[in-house]
Amino acid sequence: MDDQVSSQTMRVGSLSPTSTISQPGLDLSGLPPIAIFTAHLKDEEERTLKKTLRQYDAPLTTDISRAKIFIGKVGTKRRAEFELRSRKLVVEEALALKRPASPVKAKGHSSKRRKVGVTSARSIPADERDSTTEDEVVEDSETEDEAPNAKHYTPLSSPSNFDGGVYNTPIFETSSNDDVVWVVKFDWVEACISAGHLLPLSENLVYKGKVLERPKSLNTKSIKAVFSAVAKKVPVSKTLLATRPPLVQDILDRAKSDARTISKKPTYEPARFGNHASRRFQGMAFAPSSQPVSPSHASQAAHLLQQTTSEYDGEDSDFPQPPDWVKKGVKYSCQRFTPGNGPNEDFLDQLKKIRTARTLIDDDIGVCAYSTIIASIAAYPYKLSLPREIAQLPGCDEKTAVLFVEWMNTGKIKAVEDYESDEAMKVLRSFYDIWGVGAKTARHFYYNNQWTELDDIIEYGWNDLDRVQQIGVKYYDEFLVTIPRAEVEQIASVVREHAVQLRDERVTVTIVGGYRRGKTESGDVDMIVSHPDLESTAGLVREMVESLEEAEWITHTLTMSLKNTNRGQHALPFRSANGAAAGFDTLDKALVVWQDPAWPTREQDMAENPKAKNPATHRRVDIIIAPWRSVGCAVLGWSGGTTFQRDLRRYAKAIKGWKFDSSGIRSRSTGKAIMIEGPNGVDGTPEDAEKAVFEGLGLEYVPPEHRVTY
């Protein structure tokens, strides 16, 4: 998404009144109320844009209950919808009809159960998903004084049909009494200034939406008056906020004011099956003040500002000197050490639940932001005691501190309680826990198919599930049982035994995933199999699976890939000859269901009943084959926590100009493979090769037990 944003080169500097000749013919005073999207705008860019709009008498406002036009650095409809949603606007896209709608089609859709074929990417391991998107933490700065009341505005026109100074084609006008908003690129403002008159929106219109619900206006007084009143009522010296910067004081004071005005409502509205609105989960109160919250499902504002005891009071309360990575603002988690079971696990558990909620409601940006916050706090070596400690951490800000204040004051977070108690979220989470079912498919099961439990899937949609999903449902309870370290090691030893029989003793098997990060129990078993001879890894995965199936260790093969063997085990270029992106992480792999074929009473049970079932728990096992010359990338690519892996790819892209994944490294400029481990691999172990990759990337080696970024 940042690539899209960066393609819109910010030219706000050219909008400055000091560098632009004022055009007397341009008058923006008749426009509807305008609000600015501050995301991706630097402070100076935002100030310049506001100053320029004021020069032409544009009706600027920060009251979202009145704003009609939103101007910012926004390039896609999805981003526009997110920005509107984050300001508590419930909208749906306003599409122009080419012909009158059919009264038959307008009657609504049936609420009958129906079978819908569903595909899912859940079966693809998380560390194989390419995620080079930069962090996008939305900041909503509403400190601007209110613009004059502009409810009764005159829709201005463009010169597309110019006649004697009268513009006949309306720009901001609707054919009905609907409440409509427009999201417009800032380029349009610059174009209008350059032309000296209003221009059609054309490609500068990102999104036009019909407003279903707006937040209530809380700005009945000026911002200055509101803050002054709060300051008199709550002396700074008697609150925890004595330790916060002035900006945070303002934000938290507003949050407290909001808490007294918002009525208590359920966070989520029960699913209205058959109603199109129910198809997108709208309960979104999972973040601090400016994160997405649907007003129709708003929870009571968090208990943020209770009076605190002396243990949290005082300007003189000191916290430990932050580590160097905090002082330097290191944002990539692959550049710092993050151990498991740190001093702030209780608070992190709350944040992880919020992130899960964001996952289930399809808020990718929120998931990315919370992942960054969680990884940063997890790396902090001291027990947090003050909100200003959090505000200093890379990726965290006053919004994160607000959650911490609530946690410290009440011992809980309202958004987490809402998530855990909401029935719809319970159903979505149960579906999401099915192997092979992602968040999108889980929502489809619930909102579209109206299923509320596993039995519904089996009864009404079994034949529409793909094979992986069917197996995920069949062994649902067993796959949720974690695997002790001893059992992980036993499974790996069996795999190596069969690989050695097929090749020789030089076969290496490296257990990766959560086991390598030190987890006492794992959800599944991931292992990298390699051999110093290139020809020995070709086709090995198929032979191994056949051997293990014959020995009854593998009961089901979910996925079998021989792409690496089929291309001669050569690293793919970053882009193909015609410039199209190629598939990068194409290592040979088999994702299988594993079961120990021996159990203590097997002989007796089989004697009594030849068809006796094996009672051993089914396990999920991933066997990945890596050529020796890139085994270090494979081990590294499968050993870190999710955020560590994401940041590793982001770091390689931003700092080195490379594309990194578990199959190798390529140059983004030339498209050629970069053989950090040498053309024939490292002379040593896969762990030695991994260290060589760290060195080649210019990174300090981080032991796997310090890559626990969650």
Q: What is the pLDDT of residue 166?
A: 35
Per-residue pLDDT tens for 453-477? 999 999 999 999 999 999 999 999 9
Residue 23 has pLDDT above 80, yes or no: no
For the record, the structure tokens of 359 come out as: 């996952």
Fold designation for 223-266+280-419: DNA polymerase; domain 1 (1.10.150)
Under the banding of pLDDT at 50, 70 and 90, the label for residue 574 is: low
Q: What is the pLDDT of residue 96?
A: 55
Tell how strand 508-511 and strand 525-530 pair up: antiparallel
Rg for the chain (alpha carbons), in Å?
A: 29
Spatial contact of 631 and 658, defined as CB atoms under 8 Å apart: no
Q: 2-97+142-213 sits in which CATH class?
A: alpha beta
Per-residue pLDDT tens for 384-401? 999 989 999 999 988 899
CATH classification code of 483-706:
3.30.460.10
Q: Which residues of 465-498 are buried (b: 16+ CB within 10 A; e: fewer)?
A: bbebbbbbbbbeeebeeebeeebbeebbebbbeb
Candidate from 38-42, 85-89, 577-581 with smallest mean pLDDT:
577-581
Q: Could you give the residue ranges of the DSSP H alpha helices within 503-539?
A: 513-516, 534-537
Whole-angstrom distance, CA of residue 160 vs CA of residue 157: 8
Whole-angstrom distance, CA of residue 85 vs CA of residue 432: 24
Q: Average pLDDT, whole number, for the chain?
A: 76
Instruction: State how far the alpha carbon of 654 is from the alpha carbons of 374, 538, 650, 667, 697, in Å.
Output: 22, 33, 6, 12, 12
Cβ-based burial of 547 (10 A; exposed 0-12, middle 13-18, buried ≥19): middle
Q: Please state, as a whole number, how many other Cβ atoms lie within 10 Å of the Cβ of residue 369.
A: 23
Residue 652 has pLDDT above 80, yes or no: yes
Q: 422-479 sits in which CATH class?
A: mainly alpha
Secondary structure class of 466 (helix, strand, coil): coil
Give the contacts of 660 (CB within 8 A, at least 6 positions apart). 633, 637, 648, 649, 652, 653, 697
User: Smallest Cα–Cα separation from 349: which of 421, 412, 289?
Assistant: 412
Q: Where are the domains of the chain?
A: 2-97+142-213, 223-266+280-419, 422-479, 483-706
Beta bridge partners of 575: 581
Secondary structure class of 603 (helix, strand, coil): helix
Whole-angstrom distance, CA of residue 660 vs CA of residue 674: 10
Virtual CA dihedral for 161, 163, 167, 168, nearest 10 degrees?
-60
Per-residue pLDDT tens for 227-266? 333 333 333 333 333 333 444 445 445 444 444 443 333 3
Per-residue pLDDT tens for 610-647? 989 999 999 999 999 999 999 999 999 999 999 999 99
Whole-angstrom distance, CA of residue 190 vs CA of residue 28: 13
Identical fold for domains 2-97+142-213 and 483-706, yes or no, is no
Give the contacts of 232 (CB within 8 A, at least 6 positions apart). none
